[in-house]
Each structure stands twice: as C-alpha cells, then as structure tokens.
Structure 1
C-alpha cells in the first residue's frame, strides 16, 4: 500500500496493533507516554537527639580526660625511659629522653644480684604476703558476702552496720592498736603480722555482699533446693560461677593493696630478710642518704619497674573475667 506520493505507508503508525495494548488504549489510538519517576533528591541524615543517657561529644570533657591520661601515663613513661640509663646518664640527661647507652638489661641483672640477691628475696616475701593475705581475704569475702546476701539470721542488720563502719575507718588509725596486739602475742617481726591483718577486707566483704544480692537470683537457689541439691553443691555449682566477676574484682583490689602495702610492714617488720618490695626499695633509697652509703638510684628505678610489672600483667590476664550478665535470662519475669 502506497500513499499519493508513491512512498509506502507505515501502517503501524496509522493503524497500530489490533486490539488493545496493555495500557488499555484501543487500536489506532496513540500510545500514552510512559511516566518515569523523577530522580529522588538525596535525603539528609537526621541528627540523633542526645539525651542525658546518650550525651553528645563534649570538648571540655575530652580535654579534661586527655589531661588525666597524660597525668597518669607520664610517670610510667618516665620510669620506663630512665630504667634504661646507668647512674651517670640518670643524673645528667633529660628525664623524658634516652641516655647515651641502653642499659636496661644490665640494670635488671644488677638489680637481681645486688646485695646478695636481696631484691629476689623481697619479691618472694611479697608473693607470700599476696598469696596468703590477698588470697585469704578474697575467699573470706566471697564466703561472707554470699552468706550475708542469701541467708536470713538474727543480727544481720548489726553485721551490716559493723561492715559499713569498718569500711569508713582508715587503716592508719588501726595500725598502732594492731601493732600493740601482735606485739603482746609475740607475732611482731614475723610474716604473720602482715598476713593476718591482710585477711580482713571490709570493702571486699561489702562488695561481695552487694554483688551476690544482684547476681544470684533467689529463684535459681530455690529451684536447686527443690531438685534436692545441698547448700555446698548450690554454692560451688550455681552461685560461684555467677560470682566470678565480683570475685576477680575483690581479688585484684586485695592484690594491689597487699602488693603496695607499705605502712603495715613498716610498723610490723624490722628484719630486712622479711621485707616486702616496698620496704626494700625504700631501704636502698635511704642508704644513699647515710654516711658512706652507696647511691643506687639506677637500681631503685629499675626495681620499681620490675615491681609494677607483675600487677600490670595480672590485670591484663584477668580482665577477660570481668563479665556481667551471666545470669541474664535465667529467670523469667
């Protein structure tokens, strides 16, 4: 079919397809244009509203935190740097910069062998005091805190008042009465004069009391008793695993307090063979001020670095035990 000019007519444009198209247009009618969605404008992200429980960043608080961090780490950095210097560089060089020679390993060797290995002996004494004193204090705090939190007995409130009062009393106020008591029993100048007072930890007892009341649901204990479990089995199989974070916390506090204890051994111990590290390093520092004494400031600094190293290692090893929510979901509310 041709048009008057002789060109073939495009029947598809004039007649279209027969029938209706999917859009409902009849044959021969022009197809309506397909509407394309306009490009969506980019949405701006809404700023999250800050609340007292979710505060926003604070510049003054960040600055204060940075100052506290510098104040905390600067003495440690100074200690590590100066432990690498000998006696001459220690007195002549800048405190926050390395000396001429790296003498750390030589300083450690001299520290461990100086004065017939006194530092090693003091370290063993400190480990004895920590194992017996801090370990015993932790065990007593866990047992006492669990008993006070779980069981009802006459005089419980009186015990609570005594524990709170003991926490409020500083240890220095009890030093002289403790010395007189141990001297009367013949225990002064012995390791027992340091170990026995370290067993008493009112703060640890109070902490385990509060932690047990929150971490050990009474419904679990009642369910175990209904199943026929005894009190010892309930404590070791159910309560003790739930008390692991609190136990580790009390243990670390007791270890640090016993490891750094200075005033109590100063009063109780007169024999240098039973000195802890704190008294031993103080004795090395004091000999430089005596007539004819040898100054060993490089050994004192190196010994101080070796003294704090075990505490740092223990914290790094035990931090994974600081977990919370071990009993979450065990009791259906």
Structure 2
C-alpha cells in the first residue's frame, strides 16, 4: 500500500483557462498515475447542494417499500430510479450493501440546445422522480448539482483531449469534449451504503465489503466526497435535516472509504475533500485511447466498527452516445460495450 501517493489537485480556474500543463495531466492520468484528478475552487453553491443531496440519500433509502417500488423500473434493468439488490457481485451474489437512485442528465449545452437530439433507443426510459414531498426539493437539487458536475467534466474532457492528442497517434482532437457535450446517456447515481449488519473483521487491505472492485463503463466519472451519516437513531425531520443531520467530517473508521488500484497495481486510499470534485477514467475512454488512458479499478471498504454508519455519495458517469465507435479496428460501439457490461452484472 502506498499512502503517500495522493491524487493530483488542480483549480477549476486552470481548467477554464486551458492552462493545465501536459506534465500535470501526465501525473494525473499517465502510466504511473492513480488515474484520478481532484478539482478545487468550485462554485459557491456546490457545498450546500452536495450536503443537501447526499443527506437526501438517507431519507430516500428509508422510504417504505411500497414507495420505493414506485421508483423502480425492472424493464430498464433498474438503470433509472431506485435499485437495491439487483446488481451481481464478483461472487455471483446480489449486492444488498448499497441502494442507488439513477437519473439521466444532460449537459447545460444540450439543455439549452433548440435542435432535436438523436434518439437513443436503449436510453429512452424516462427518469422516475419521487413525489415532490418525498423529499421536498429532491429533483431540483439533483438536477442542479449533476448539471454543474457535467459542465466541469466537460472542461476535464477538454484537458484529456489535449493529453490524448499529444500521446495517441491518430487521436482526433476534441473527441472527448464533443462526447460529453452532446451525450444523451450521461447517468447520475446517488448512492446510499447501508450500515453493515455486523462489524468487519477483515485485515485485508483489499477488503471491498461495501462495494466490489470494478471499473466504470463510461469515459469520465465525476465523484463527490462521501457523507458519513450516523443512522443509529431516527433521522431528523426533513424541515431541519440539513442543519441537524448527524454526519461526520470523515469516516469514524479511518480505513473505510474509497480505494483505487493504481496503474502500478498498488492499492491507495483516496480522500476527496468535501469542497472538491474528483474525476476518474472509465473503460470507454480506455478503448477510445487505445489503452493510453486506462480505466481506474476501485472499490469501497466498509467500516470495522459496529456503529450504524451509512455512506452517501454521488457519481456522475459521462458516457458516449450508443452509436459512438470506441475502437476503429473492431468497430465496437458504446452501445455494444454497455450491453456486454450489463450482462456481466445481471
């Protein structure tokens, strides 16, 4: 384990001005990197939006089963709305340690675009939003925060384009930026990791008890830091939730949280500051760059303590449209790529 290796951190202003150096991008995404980039100096409304939405995750997960059933769509393979216990782990068992709420979100560019976007047949399932009072303001908060993350991902994609163009022969400049800007398949996932039913006693540094080791399917994944919530007692009323919800500045168990297997196969714990965003690379980007930008294997370790500590976070997967060709040699499209992935986890 290499605890001294930390993700590269840059300012949003540097992304906006295209002043991030190629050497910095090499350090973040190159062959000896962690494959993850931290972005700081975010808009002022990021922190309250993050706290509000991540707090909502605990309330959503505790809704009565009949209300959660109204938020599910089995026909869409649970890729919109609520999903719990539907995703197979590497062991073949279904994952019951976390619940997810999915929604498809577009960039602000597409939201303001007046032309009719090309249809994506396998992504036509409409979002399933909770009733506005369960909890109040959920949809507005979700869409506002996710749109902000996508628009920052667009700047990271532009930086990745510069890096790939300098590194990969034949790479078409601007590809990643175009994909994120025009994507109709960007999917946001609000995650609630349930408190473990019993304490973990594993001493294995690669203990993935909260989320199994995997790579993301898309190009870039935007991640907020996690909110660790004490759920040993009933949640406070929603009217005062964001002032009184009992959360921790960091995990009560210092070993619990997000881990990455680096490009050098070293396991590193990654801590994302609460006022920052992280962006990590996925398998579609790996295929698009011929392996120059590799997908990041990562997992989440649960806490050892028997306390009723939950973990809430948000991941936004920027993905190509389904007909986007990822590999010119094989002709594989993102639609084909995602279908193979779905079959592996069904």
Instruction: Please confirm whether the aligned pair reaches a TM-score higher than 0.5, indicating the same fold.
Output: no
Answer 1 or 2: which has greater helix percent: 1
Pair member with larger Rg:
1
* TM-score normalised according to structure 2 size: 0.21
Answer 1 or 2: which has greater strand percent: 2
* TM-score normalised according to structure 1 size: 0.21
Tell me: higher relative CO, structure 1 or 2? Use CA pairs within 8 A at least 6 residues apart: 2
